[in-house]
Amino acid sequence: MSLHLALLIIYSCAVVGLGLWTARFVRTSSAFFVAGRSLGPGLVLASMLAANIGAGATVNVAGLAYREGLNAWWWSGSAGIASFALAFWVGPRIWQLAKEHGFYTTGDFLEFRYGATVRAVITSLVCFGSLWILAAQLIAGAAIIGVLTGAPRWVGAIIGGGIMTIYFTAGGLLGTAWVNTLQLIVMLVGFTVAVPFAVAGAGGLAAFTSSSLAATFTDITYSSGPGSGWTLLALTGPAFVISPGLIQKSYGAESARALRVGVALNGVGLMLFAFLPVLMGMAGRVALPAGSAPDLVLPTVLTELLPPWIGALALAAVFSTEVDTCDAILFMISTSISRDLFQRYLRPAASDRELLAVARASAVAGGVLGVLLSIYLSTIVQAMTVFYSLLGVSLFVPVLGGLYSRRAGQAEALAAILAGVVTLLVVRFWVAGRYPWLDPTLCGLTAAGIAFVGVMISRRST
């Protein structure tokens, strides 16, 4: 057994063991859904940062940097910028409402603000979109296992899916906050140690300015069009402000101050961490054969350019990022199904014990569906783009409008959701091919905002 595989097995067992141990503290739905609203700044930071650094921020970013260079920073950098909006404007306001009215999910807020119809529509979209992002994380984890063992994707997906399903189902938000702290330590140490060796193995920073590479390779401001460079701010930024998973994690803070501090530090951490996988991808462009598969660039760099013990630590760090983001996605799925669908529409009189049981069953079902979807999707980018786009155009305008406008109602929210989703799909599948400069997500957000304001003005005038 290789050192890489041995360390990965030890780490996975430790994560599962810690998750099962925390299950002893989860006896109520409040502990499962919002950690009893007891998370201090440190646990908020760990929970948020672990959720935000996943397959997109590591494996996918390395692949983007391999193709385009330093401008891949904007994938995670955009998430860091957006986190400040969550920390100082959106998070504290919605946390206060959650504390006053007992909100567990984003659906609770949407129904409070717009009514049951909007809650049902958004919950359906979130559950659908969450499965795609869960599949993306599992694809990345499977790629690591495949590089180490040669196992096919379905084997790696089952292993990764099994690990995250077990510890999340046992501990909920309270348990994952502690597990995420361990994962965060492993992730930061692994990447920080690995990057200097990867860059040195490629010939140092000077190798990135080689005449064989494009002049834009080291230009952080470069963008080749939608989905490249700074345009990623439109694709990923809104989703990191109003993501149901992040908002629900915000509910778990012990105070508004703990929320502001934890989420703001998470933003700083994301903007700094964003450089690490980018440098690894750029090193791969110099040192690896041309035409390497984007999803395999990072695992290959870690196994071929680094000393064995450092590569093993870094692979454990990468695997950690995929697993800890998976628990955030399962969190969205299980809480949406159990609270927003089961308790709200099927069994309003459900006991606390029944609600907790359904939440755990939903997590298991979500894990199984995520594994199945990961086997059939082709790339991480394909899976993640669907999620971020759908989440942004459907939720961004209604959530902000509900927080900052007293006049807006159900008609405005439904109009924004419909206009955003329809515009996204039309531009993405029928228009973007003829006009490559059009960004489907930005078009969807613009349409949602216009529809929201338009209906508000129309209703006010009548």
Tell me: do 302 and 160 sit in the same domain.
yes
pLDDT at 274: 94
Cα–Cα distance for residue pair 419/411, rounded to 1 Å: 12
Domain count for the chain: 2
pLDDT at 272: 95
- Domain end, chosen from 381, 414, 429, is at 381
Asked if the structure places residue 55 within a domain, the reply is yes
Cα–Cα distance for residue pair 189/293, rounded to 1 Å: 26
Among residues 174, 181, 186, the alpha carbon closest in space to that of 22 is found at: 174
Tell me: do 360 and 424 sit in the same domain.
no
Query: Which residues lie below 8 Å from residue 191, measured CB to CB, with a gap of 6+?
Result: 273, 276, 277, 314, 317
Asked if the structure places residue 227 within a domain, the reply is yes
Tell me: do 40 and 99 sit in the same domain.
yes
Tell me: do 419 and 370 sit in the same domain.
no
pLDDT digits (tens, 9 = 90+) for 409-458: 999 999 999 999 999 889 888 886 677 778 888 899 999 999 999 999 98
Tell me: do 217 and 332 sit in the same domain.
yes
pLDDT by position in tens, the chain (length 462): 566 667 777 777 777 777 677 777 777 778 788 878 888 999 899 888 877 887 778 888 999 999 999 999 999 999 999 999 999 999 999 999 999 999 988 899 999 999 999 999 988 888 877 787 788 778 777 777 777 677 787 788 888 788 878 877 877 777 777 777 777 787 788 888 889 999 998 888 889 988 788 889 999 999 988 778 898 888 778 888 988 888 988 999 999 999 999 999 999 999 999 999 999 999 999 988 776 677 778 888 888 888 887 877 777 777 776 666 777 778 888 888 999 989 988 889 899 889 989 988 998 898 888 888 887 766 555 556 666 778 788 999 999 999 988 888 999 999 999 999 999 889 888 886 677 778 888 899 999 999 999 999 988 776
Among residues 92, 85, 112, the alpha carbon closest in space to that of 101 is found at: 112
- Look up residue 209 and give its two tokens: 């300015």
Tell me: do 162 and 269 sit in the same domain.
yes
Q: Is the dihedral of CA 130, 242, 112, 253 positive or negative?
A: positive
pLDDT at 462: 64
- Domain end, chosen from 381, 415, 431, is at 381
Cα–Cα distance for residue pair 141/160, rounded to 1 Å: 6
Tell me: do 182 and 248 sit in the same domain.
yes
Asked if the structure places residue 85 within a domain, the reply is yes
Q: Domain range holding 67?
A: 3-381
Asked if the structure places residue 397 within a domain, the reply is no
Among residues 138, 144, 178, 176, the alpha carbon closest in space to that of 158 is found at: 138
For the beta carbon of residue 203, count every other beta carbon within 10 angstroms.
Answer: 13
- Can you say how many angstroms the Cα of residue 273 is from the centroid of all Cα atoms in its chain? 15
Task: Let me know: does 240 contact 78? Beta carbons within 8 Å.
Answer: yes
- Look up residue 415 and give its two tokens: 């109009």
Cα–Cα distance for residue pair 373/139, rounded to 1 Å: 9
Asked if the structure places residue 390 within a domain, the reply is no
Judged by phi (left if over 0) then psi (alpha if -120 to 50, else beta), residue 26 lies in beta
Tell me: do 349 and 450 sit in the same domain.
no
Tell me: do 92 and 207 sit in the same domain.
yes
Asked if the structure places residue 400 within a domain, the reply is no
pLDDT at 114: 94
- What stretch of H or E contains 172? helix 153-201
- Domain end, chosen from 334, 366, 381, is at 381
Tell me: do 63 and 160 sit in the same domain.
yes
Task: Let me know: does 180 contact 327? Beta carbons within 8 Å.
Answer: yes
DSSP state of 39: B
Q: What is the CATH number of the domain that holds 45?
A: 1.20.1730.10
Asked if the structure places residue 394 within a domain, the reply is no
Tell me: do 362 and 453 sit in the same domain.
no
pLDDT at 380: 54
pLDDT digits (tens, 9 = 90+) for 308-342: 878 777 777 777 766 667 777 788 888 889 999 89
Tell me: do 204 and 254 sit in the same domain.
yes
pLDDT at 287: 87
* Exposure string over 251-279, b if 16+ CB within 10 A, otherwise e: bbbbeeebbbbbbbbbbebbbebbbbbbb
Asked if the structure places residue 388 within a domain, the reply is no
pLDDT at 379: 58
